[in-house]
Structure 1
Amino acid sequence: MFIEKSLSSYKENIFHAMKDDWFLITVTSPSEVNMMTAAWGSIGVMWNKPIFNIVVRNTRYTYQLLEKADSFTCSFFSSDYSEQLTYCGRHSGRDVNKAKETGLTPIEIDGNTSSKVFTFEQAHTAFCCNIASITPIQPEHFVDSSIEKHYLSKDYHTMFTGYITRLLINEEKEV
């Protein structure tokens, strides 16, 4: 069961959670729930509101859905789910039903967002977000030239900034 917590009560090491355990970005359309694995992002304050920045390559199916969406969730799992998250990062929702293939169970939650949002029964934490800004990452703005090594195919990311509307913690899962 997920319960709401204040952002100030969140004590998890977000650097470890993102870089080492990864997370799922989930976006819905009228006909589907789609998720993709991410390891890059940031949490902070912008425009006097708590925000979660996610970055998605323009070539990804999730990008197409996010462009039309007004909300997303970022769901965190224990390292026990690394196989499932690896699968979600290597396969496209265009081609497969990732929830079915991985056994992850999507659940609709009240994200206090402008549209339906989902997390997963197996997640320990979910950040619910309303999209506030969409910013293409452009190579002409790189000050550090070594960043370009992440874009050998020139498939640049777009940053989606979401206002965090709710932080939900699964009482049945260890963080």
Structure 2
Amino acid sequence: MKKTTVEALAKENAFELIGKEWMLITAGNKEHCNMMTASWGGIGWLWNKPVAFVFVRPERATYPLIEENEHLTLSFLGHSEAMRKVYNFCGSKSGRDYDKVKETGLTPVETEHGAIGFEEARLTIEGRKMFRTELKADEFIDKEALARWYNDQPGGSLHTMYVVEIENVYE
């Protein structure tokens, strides 16, 4: 991973980047980390800082690692068939049951602030947590979104949203 500037994100289409390519949210350190696939979130400008925001359900094995650590990474692996398999594995298998780094063959790389990215990523964002909030059912204005995404099916609990300051970008 080669460090670049946050301005390098300007060439990316955030809708494509997150919604179509997907990302791995990784938290932890070189002794213990876990990653999960995500396709919800965004990149923008808030509180006069470049930020990313991501959504994580409390049931995810990555959740306590996000809670315990100041930094996390968002890794974008591209659209290849091999990387799509990584995304599918990390999105469907739990870090409680699998060593995802070993199972996917990804090569962990420690970032400037001790978070974990991956050598295979075409783009990695390192962020420092600034804000978190738990989504609440009674705060949904669009009740159809609540019914569709947060029903009684397994994994249907509401997400926690994190806003992270983008401190480093790696290509």
TM-superposed deviation, 1:29 = 4.7
Q: Whole-Å Cα distance in 2 between the matches of residues 31 and 51 of structure 1? A: 27
Identity %: 35
Question: In 1, are the aligned partners of 2:77 and 2:123 still within 8 Å (CA)?
Answer: yes
Question: In 2, are the aligned partners of 1:29 and 1:65 still within 8 Å (CA)?
Answer: no
RMSD, matched Cα: 1.5
Aligned pair count reads 165
Corresponding residue number in structure 2 for 1:109: 111
Corresponding residue number in structure 2 for 1:46: 46
Give the counterpart of 1:142 among 123, 140, 146: 140
Q: Whole-Å Cα distance in 2 between the matches of residues 76 and 6 of structure 1? A: 15
Q: Which has the higher strand share?
A: 1
With normalisation by structure 1, the TM-score equals 0.89
Opposite residue 10 of structure 1, the aligned amino acid is A
Q: Whole-Å Cα distance in 1 between the matches of residues 89 and 6 of structure 2? A: 31
**Is 2:10 the counterpart of 1:10?**
yes
Give the counterpart of 2:124 among 104, 126, 131: 126
Q: Which runs of 4+ in 1 moved over 3 A?
A: none
With normalisation by structure 2, the TM-score equals 0.91
TM-superposed deviation, 1:30 = 7.1
Q: Whole-Å Cα distance in 2 between the matches of residues 121 and 69 of structure 1? A: 21
3-state DSSP class of the match of 2:11?
coil
Corresponding residue number in structure 2 for 1:73: 73
Opposite residue 137 of structure 1, the aligned amino acid is L
Q: Whole-Å Cα distance in 2 between the matches of residues 137 and 30 of structure 1? A: 30
Q: Whole-Å Cα distance in 2 between the matches of residues 53 and 16 of structure 1? A: 15
Question: In 1, are the aligned partners of 2:29 and 2:115 still within 8 Å (CA)?
Answer: no
Corresponding residue number in structure 1 for 2:22: 22
Question: In 2, are the aligned partners of 1:28 and 1:72 still within 8 Å (CA)?
Answer: yes
TM-superposed deviation, 1:8 = 5.8
Opposite residue 165 of structure 1, the aligned amino acid is E
**CA distance 1:82–1:53, change in 2 (3 Å):** same
Residue ranges of structure 2 left out of the alignment (5+ in a row): none
Residue ranges of structure 1 left out of the alignment (5+ in a row): 170-175
Corresponding residue number in structure 2 for 1:85: 87
